Amino acid sequence: MTPATELSGLPVALAATLFISGCAGTVVTPTANETSQEIIPFETDGGEASYHLLLAEMALERDQFDAAAREYRMAAQLSDDAEVAQRAVTLSFGLGRNTEALASAQRWVELDPGNLEARRYLASIYLQNKELDLAVGELDTMLNLYSDVPEEAFLALTGMLLEQRDQAISMRAMDRLLAQYPDVPAAHYGMALMSMQVGDYDSAQRHVTTSEELRPDWPRAGLLHARILVARGDEEAGLERAANLARDATDPTLRLDYALLLANLNREGEARLELDLLLDEHPRMAGALRAAGLLEMRRGDLDAAQLHFTSLLATGRGTWEAFYYLGSIAEQRAQAGRAIRFYSQVRDGDLAITAQARAASLYESMGEIDRAVEHLTTFANETPKLDADLHTAAAELLARNNEVDRALEILNETLIRHPKNRGARFARAFLYEQMDQVDTSIAELRALLKDAPEDSIALNALGYTLVDRTDRYREGYRLIRKALELDPNNPAIIDSMGWAEYRRGDLEEAHRHLERAYGLVRDPEIAAHLGEVLYLKGQTDDALTIWQESLAENPGADVLLEVMQKFGP
């Protein structure tokens, strides 16, 4: 599959918020050319800290994010105000500037040793840097600070570890903590939950069983055991266990978990009944309102879904999700303006980037390309932590509309501000390929692969480009094969392997891979590839059927129109 298709719409949302307040104290106002490196006399460290705060805010206004993070870090080092260090950490962490974030987090902890949020940031940075000993030390300190009840502390830490991108290092950290607290049921519960997340069900069941043995009367562990049984294929035993626990539960969250388990197993009628009963007793329970809204959206009852998400909005919890799904409902009703207004309110959280991309897509569908780009770039400028992702989305939108020069300009400027951002680098590589600068695209992809040799996306992107745009089929095939070994169920990589086999002349193997890919996701590019292979095998009617069905699902898809023009009657 074309690498750009695989990555489209999949930016990673950052998990920090930004708050910048005014500077205090008298400062020297710098000119546009002055930098923090100049020697300026200050009577106190506090005065110099205020100066660096001013420089940081000026750098933010100019989208100079490296400078902003650096100036905030310097302000934190000079100030005795923990709030300054907090601002420095929040900004730097949100922008992915871990060097600056680490120094500021250490300063924050120094100024406020008992602050759990400060230590949470510091532990997260150590985990991202793969400094396991330091991370475990911080986590252990947090356990002692968090609560006198070890169970509560371990549950909080488990949630934090599950948020980390690198689950392997998180599990190693939890394993180290577990060795220190082998008799704490919640420690084994946390390890079971993390093991389940990575698909190690044997480890998950072993640890949840230990947790139940240490604390037999803990329904939370029992419900996790039920989920593990379902995941291992013993659906009836798992549901029976979960139903018994939910029936006797005084904690409504256990009943919610049971309803979610039913929903995940497509037992929507039973799930809806459980949620209705739960909401009768707890009408403002945010999790139940969200789950009920999603169920109603799934069954197509947009009125009921809207009612639930409006109620969720009124609780003051899950605000970003409520706005997002209200926007989605409006979009399904072809109420573009209303949808855009809802999407524009999603200012933070995991859905922020997706929401703004949807809003821009609605402008794009109305032919308002400039307004779509303006929406994304304005939002990015107002939300620095999303700057790279949203400017990349703006460039991809322009590229889709053949405004390649503007797209390249945005990506180049984005990479000046965020030189290591992989999303922008991939986007630029795909844009070069679109501009027929294939050698430049390949060089960019090789650089990405050199930075992360086991990145299946980079392997697939380079392999597909070599197979599709050059005669270096053998090298491309090897790269795609390695990507498939790392991610064997990824339909984009399976499609690439099918296309590689086609380019190598093996139509049977190509058909097998492409049919499997299309069975996993009905993507128009996969349909184009599969149809082409079928056509060349002499199955012309089957090829035309697939193309026509995919075109009905994806009106105007260029990749389908081109292949149908090439082979169709």
SS (H, E, C) 93-137: HHCCCHHHHHHHHHHHHHHCCCCHHHHHHHHHHHHHCCCHHHHHH
Confirm whether 128 is domain-assigned: no
Query: Distance of alpha carbon 103 from its chain centroid, rounded?
Result: 26
**Which helix (H) or strand (E) element contains residue 295?**
helix 286-299
Conformation bin of residue 568: beta by default, left when phi > 0, alpha when psi is -120 to 50: beta
**CATH assignment at residue 309:** 1.25.40.10
Confirm whether 70 is domain-assigned: no
Confirm whether 475 is domain-assigned: no
Q: Using the CB atoms, write b or e for 224-249: b if 16+ within 10 Å.
A: bbbbbbbbeeeeeebbebbbebbeeb
DSSP string, 234-248: -HHHHHHHHHHHHHT
Count up the domains in the chain and report the number: 1
> In a 3-state reduction of DSSP, which class is residue 91?
helix
Boundaries of domain holding 301:
283-347
What is the pLDDT tens value at each position of the chain, 569 positions in all? Answer: 665 555 443 333 322 222 223 333 333 333 444 444 444 444 455 678 888 888 988 887 777 888 888 998 999 999 999 999 999 998 888 888 889 999 999 999 999 999 999 999 999 999 999 999 999 999 999 998 886 767 788 988 999 999 888 888 999 999 999 999 999 999 999 999 999 988 899 999 999 999 999 999 899 999 999 999 999 999 999 999 999 999 888 889 999 999 999 999 999 999 999 999 999 999 999 999 999 999 999 999 999 999 999 999 999 888 999 999 999 999 999 999 999 999 999 998 889 999 999 999 999 999 999 999 999 999 998 888 899 999 999 999 999 999 999 999 999 999 999 998 999 999 999 999 999 999 999 999 999 999 999 999 999 999 999 999 999 999 999 999 999 999 999 999 999 999 999 999 999 999 999 999 999 999 999 999 999 999 999 999 999 999 999 999 998 888 999 999 998 66
- Tell me, what's the pLDDT at 91? 87
- Tell me, what's the pLDDT at 267? 92
Q: How far is CA 51 from CA 83, 89, 106, 440, in A?
A: 16, 18, 21, 43
For the chain, how far is it from start to end, CA to CA, in angstroms? 25
Residue with tokens 């703004």: 356
Apex 521 CA angle, 520 and 522, nearest 5: 130
- Tell me, what's the pLDDT at 3? 55
Confirm whether 331 is domain-assigned: yes
Q: How many CB atoms lie within 10 A of CB 547?
A: 25
Confirm whether 173 is domain-assigned: no
- Tell me, what's the pLDDT at 249? 83
432 with 441: CB under 8 angstroms? Answer: yes
- The reported pTM is 0.77
- Tell me, what's the pLDDT at 2? 61
